[in-house]
Amino acid sequence: MADCFRENNKDSAFYYLKQSEKIYLLIKNDDRLAKVHYNKAYLLFYEGNYTESEIEVVKALNYLKKGDNLELLYMCNSLQGSNHTELEEYDKALDYFKQAASTLQKMQKLGLNVAEINDYNVINTIDICNIYDKMGEYSKSLSILKEIISQKTISKDSKIYNTVIGNIAYSLMKMGKYQEANQYFQYAIQLSKNSENTQNYLYKIINFGEYHLLTKDTVKANALLNEALELSKQLKSGKEELKTLKFLSDANPKKASFYNNEYVRISDSIVKKQRASRDKFARIEFETSQVEDQNKLLNYKNIALLLGIIISIIVFLLIIYIRHKISLKKELYLLEQKNIADKELFNLTNEFQIELVNTKQNEQNRISKELHDGIMNQIYGVRLNLGFLNEFDDSASKEKRLILVKELQKIEAEIRTLSHDLSSENNFNNSDFNFLLHNLIQSNNNISNTVFTIDIDETIDWDNYSSLLKINVYRILQELFLNVNKYATAQNCTLKISAHDSVLYVTVSDDGIGFNVSKTNDGIGLKNIKERLELLNGSVNILSQSNQGAQFNISIPIN
């Protein structure tokens, strides 16, 4: 399964390799475990993670020490040589390639894989010549490569033959033999085109571009290198892209700054610097075991040195652990204080809601009683009297009817008063959100050394705002105040809320240590704030500089 996914889905390949590793560990099959670690190393190498690949090869070599799988031993030594080549450790790379050559000689003597050994030998020889080139020993590389061509042991149609021709051209170029190098470059590029080997073609035109740089033909150099840059981007070949950008900065001085900036940007994305902080103990263990095979005893100084290193590491890890615990304890304290504040807020809100419900119910009962016992009886009495007086038309009756009309006016005024009471009862909610905001300020003042103050425009009618807006504004303020408490080291923090032109403006500012806005832009807290503002079609503008405090300006359209 891992082999099926190796080219197209490396994550799945790693998953199945890990599962098979568990099985082979259980059944103690060292040969298959070595193969698993080699395959993991192979995937890591082509992902550009050379240090981790090196560690996996060491594990494979440890399992192969007691076995007789010479072909896998050759492949491990060859891959390890390639790892050290990419890590620019050329002496170690050469050593592993020579170990690979020694293994191939053993295979030839035993008559193993006769059909493939010839190709293995040529590939390993090319790898060794590549190291000689990187070490500046071009003449040594050239003589070996030309000997391979003269022996006619490889087909002219093969990828290996094309590689040898290209390497000969490169060595000739580095030796200053430009005319001969040009012929080999032309031949190698034509072979790559005929075989439609895009990756091989990329290598050739980069080297040919370098050739034209050395021969001062910058026009052809620029043409070839720009083609190589586009092709390396298509193939996602980061190493080749860096190499091309370096040559382009020399070939085109006017755009050198642009190419250098691109080089830095891409170089930063390659995980080469991780090597210094990676665990190298697996490789050290293997190399130490080789020394132990030759020298069975260790002297006292080496043991003392090893113990010293272990103790130093333990002390270092202990210091990190203690600092982590202190930091964690502080964070837990802040979280506890936040939970306490949230509980207090919940209790206060709950009590307020209960009181509000009771007030509504009492007011409704009062109004209902007044309507039934007072106004209804008055209307009933007036109706009876008017009905009785309608039978008379004398002046006394008219005067009594006028008195009853005035009585109706009084009843009308009472009804209007009750109606006003019913309407004004809802205004109690106007102070609800203000109450929550003031309580939030008070809660933070209770748990923080920072002095929190609040300034709210008194003309704001919170009943005109949706519950969705209010709860999101509240949660945003909670997040901002929490960040002030945790990071700002501020003496003062001010919340200001105003509204005009159909926009609600919320500003939180402090006089703390400030922060780098560009580096904090993708934090979890700020992401949550932005997500809440997206829900409200709002936006936030952050102003901050080192030791000059911070200011969050939030604007939310009012629907």
pLDDT in tens, 334-355: 888 877 877 776 665 666 455 5
Distance CA 86, CA 80 (A): 10
- pLDDT under 50: residue ranges of the chain: 271, 273-274, 276-292, 352, 356, 359, 362-363, 366, 413, 417, 420-431
- Helix (H) or strand (E) run with residue 451 in it: strand 451-456
In angstroms, how far is the first alpha carbon of the chain from the final one?
57
The two structure tokens encoding residue 507: 């500003």
pLDDT for position 100: 93
Rg, C-alpha atoms of the chain: 42
Quick check: 466 and 521 in contact, CB under 8 A? no
pLDDT for position 67: 82
pLDDT for position 525: 79
Distance CA 117, CA 110 (A): 12
Distance CA 542, CA 117 (A): 65
pLDDT in tens, 84-143: 998 999 999 999 999 999 999 998 888 877 667 888 888 899 999 999 999 999 999 999
Closest CA to 2 of 12, 226, 358, 544: 12
The pTM score is: 0.48
pLDDT for position 375: 66
